[in-house]
Amino acid sequence: MPSTTPTAQSLMKLEIDGRSFEASEGTTLDELFVKSFREGFKQGIAAKLNGKVVDFHTPIRESGRVELIPLDSPEGLRVLRHSTAHLMASAVLKLFPDAKLAIGPAIEEGFYYDFQVDRPFQPEDLAEIESWMHKIAEEDHPFVRGEMKRDDALREFRAKQEPFKVELIEGIPDETVSTYTHSFFTDLCRGPHVPRTRVLKSFKLLSVAGAYWRGDSNRPMLQRIYGTAFPNKDLLQQHLARIEEAKKRDHRKLGQELDLYSIQEDAGGGLIFWHPHGAAMRRVIEDFWKDEHLRRGYQLVNTPHIAQVELWQRSGHTNFYRENMYFLQADEKEYVLKPMNCPFHVLIFKRRKNSYRDLPVRIAELGTVYRLEKSGVLHGLARVRGFTQDDAHLFCTRDQVESELAQALDFARFMLQTFGFKEYQVDLSVRDAKRKQDYMGSDEDWALAEGALERVVQASGLPYHRAEGEAVFYGPKIDIKLTDAIGRPWQCGTIQFDFNQARRFDINYVGSDGQEHQVFMIHRALLGSLERFFATLIEHYGGDFPLWLAPVQARLITIADAQIPYAEEIRRILLDRGIRVEADLREEKMGAKIRDAELLKIPYMLVLGRREAEERTVSVRSRHKGNEGAVKLEEFVEKVVAESAARQ
């Protein structure tokens, strides 16, 4: 901060908490607080200057409004977690002085830092690193911001033998770069950071994973340490409890325990084998999906799994999506395993000339698609290479666009609520106006599409977030993220406006004037990928599915072989009424049979002994209510059929 009296030209006017102050250009907020008015003002962990997050060490070079950011706000948490990543890096260097530093950002629920080390980190290393983090934090070092010429920074980090930092600096176009120092540790960083290390008290290191430098498998493999941090110990403990609960609900673990699906190494990664129980549950989902679509005027179709490459060139996918596509040769021609269903639905729509009286046309398909995902991102059912998309494409006139969008959003809400999801958030994904070259279509197209989507979301009454730069290349979209039973968001349905396919495939209709007009086209998926949605259901319910979704709704348990004929009779009756039932006829103790059924989380167990067979009753054990006693067979059948039909 300059020591001379500021001139009129170098004065900045700042408004903080409704009060106005003057300061010299280059003054930091920390200097301003200490010098002028810390007492009586609400405390913050960082600040916003004209909407941009800065810390108390950043030189202020413009006038404007300053808002202090509380520690427990979303912005405050990001600052806290990024600072904790720096704290962790300093602790790593205490224990591993030869470690090379890469990057250490804050992420959604914590932070990570990437290192190049001689050997992989072990669990006991994390405990030692965490201990050193507490020691350094308690020493209460300030985070000191520094600035240096880019060339000076290159020399300094080359001298420190930090190749990843050197590469980062080489990619910075600015003449100066900033660093942050606490204790002995200096890192290349834009900030912002907390004022002092003692603020960092409630943190936990969680895991280690391998990560390629800059996500490139041809670059060095680094060690990534993940951690999390919160404003206080209680919030940290709550988060750690959620992590433990999430582990119990992990769909990969439960999928194996409940015998729902598998991924076979002999076949390859990211390819799902549905076992009888998983396939039974999937059939319930698909039948419900089809019935509801037919009820709402959709036409169901089935399309091939491959097509010639020219089709994908025409659709634009080879230009924007080539690295995620599978190519193969047949009959001296190049084919593609379909990554999307949309061009196929376009061809079906174009099979005949359509009048305005025919529109809207709604074409839907549970279509299996294939995408070449990198092996490092594959994750159970949630990220796969072959999956079924609950796809639909709506072909309509311009006047019908908003009505179709509104109906699609209402349909999505109905589906999610039926499956037991009551909370969800909506993102309105629009293009980044600074990168227009990455998107297809004119400015007029994008204004029309984004405006229509935003009006529909606003009319729905749903809170939404406008996500700049998250649109797909062919148009803006509404993304629906559901919230599961333990508060985690899952990407689910999407409603996408597409004005490019209609033009590329010359999709028209004959209007009331007898002339051809361009069709407007909407992409729509209510559940998204069935595989990912299945993973969501498993984790939301912890494998304890409601009766209508349960792979096995009832299991018959015989006490002795004498009851086998009665069990077979009941099984036939229940199967005839559409109930998914199995019979455990093993020569095993009843307690063991009940325990096995409980492990599979089967809603109803029907225990059959001599008395039940003589009196034509069933002894009902409910998963949630326990022993419900003997019930007449006909009474139980009607009860379970009614519950299933009501989707309970």
Q: Are 431 and 437 in contact (CB under 8 A)?
A: no
Q: Are 328 and 358 in contact (CB under 8 A)?
A: no
In this prediction, residues 619-641 reach a mean pLDDT of 94
Report residue 3's pLDDT band, with 50, 70 and 90 as the boundaries: very low
Is the pLDDT score of 8 beyond 80?
no
Is the pLDDT score of 5 beyond 50?
no
Sign of CA dihedral 280, 282, 288, 290: negative
C-alpha pair distances (Å), 412 with each of 204, 340, 408: 38, 20, 6
Which has the minimum average pLDDT: 112-121, 225-234, 309-318, 625-634?
Answer: 309-318
Q: Are 497 and 477 in contact (CB under 8 A)?
A: yes
**Based on C-alpha coordinates, what's the Rg of the chain?**
30
Q: What is the rounded CA–CA span in Å between residue 401 and residue 395?
A: 9
- Domains of the chain, CATH where assigned: 8-69 (3.10.20.30), 74-239 (3.30.980.10), 261-539 (3.30.930.10), 554-645 (3.40.50.800)
Q: Which residue has the tokens 């069933």?
A: 618
Of 597 and 13, which is predicted with more confidence?
597
Is the pLDDT score of 37 beyond 60?
no
Active site amino acids = 342, 371, 389, 391, 393, 477, 523
Is the pLDDT score of 377 beyond 50?
yes
Report residue 260's pLDDT band, with 50, 70 and 90 as the boundaries: very high
In this prediction, residues 551-575 reach a mean pLDDT of 96
Of 197 and 56, which is predicted with more confidence?
197
pLDDT by residue (tens digit) across 150-163? 999 999 999 999 99
Task: Quote the mean pLDDT of the chain.
Answer: 90
Report residue 43's pLDDT band, with 50, 70 and 90 as the boundaries: low
At residue 524, the 3 state secondary structure works out as: strand
Segment of 376-385, 431-440, 570-579 carrying the highest mean pLDDT: 570-579
3-state SS of 617-644?
Answer: EEEEEECCCEEEEEEEHHHHHHHHHHHH
Report residue 116's pLDDT band, with 50, 70 and 90 as the boundaries: very high
In this prediction, residues 491-496 reach a mean pLDDT of 89
Q: Which residue has the tokens 């003692």?
A: 198
Is the pLDDT score of 293 beyond 50?
yes
Is the pLDDT score of 300 beyond 70?
yes
At residue 498, the 3 state secondary structure works out as: strand
Beta-sheet strands, E only, within 213-325: 221-230, 261-262, 273-274, 299-300, 306-308
Q: Are 139 and 197 in contact (CB under 8 A)?
A: yes
In this prediction, residues 157-177 reach a mean pLDDT of 94
**What pTM value is reported for the model?**
0.83
- The secondary structure element, H or E, covering residue 90 is helix 74-95
Question: Which residue type, as a one-letter code, is found at position 445?
Answer: D
Q: What is the rounded CA–CA span in Å between residue 238 and residue 228?
A: 12
Report residue 545's pLDDT band, with 50, 70 and 90 as the boundaries: very high
pLDDT by residue (tens digit) across 381-425? 999 999 999 999 999 998 999 999 999 999 999 999 999 998 888
Is the pLDDT score of 142 beyond 50?
yes
In this prediction, residues 59-71 reach a mean pLDDT of 83
Q: Are 616 and 567 in contact (CB under 8 A)?
A: no
What pLDDT is attached to residue 292? 97
What pLDDT is attached to residue 2? 37
What pLDDT is attached to residue 497? 86
What pLDDT is attached to residue 34? 58
Which has the minimum average pLDDT: 34-43, 61-70, 545-554, 574-583?
Answer: 34-43
Of 427 and 3, which is predicted with more confidence?
427
What pLDDT is attached to residue 36? 53
What pLDDT is attached to residue 69? 83
In this prediction, residues 9-25 reach a mean pLDDT of 77
In this prediction, residues 467-474 reach a mean pLDDT of 82
In DSSP notation, 556-611 reads EEESSGGGHHHHHHHHHHHHHTT--EEEE--SS-HHHHHHHHHHTT-SEEEEE-HH
Q: Are 574 and 633 in contact (CB under 8 A)?
A: no
What pLDDT is attached to residue 35? 54
Q: What is the rounded CA–CA span in Å between residue 294 and residue 457?
A: 25
Q: Are 494 and 478 in contact (CB under 8 A)?
A: yes
What DSSP state is assigned to residue 383? Answer: B
In this prediction, residues 64-78 reach a mean pLDDT of 86
Instruction: Report percent pLDDT > 90 for the chain.
Output: 69
What pLDDT is attached to residue 183? 94
In this prediction, residues 116-129 reach a mean pLDDT of 94
What DSSP state is assigned to residue 357? Answer: G
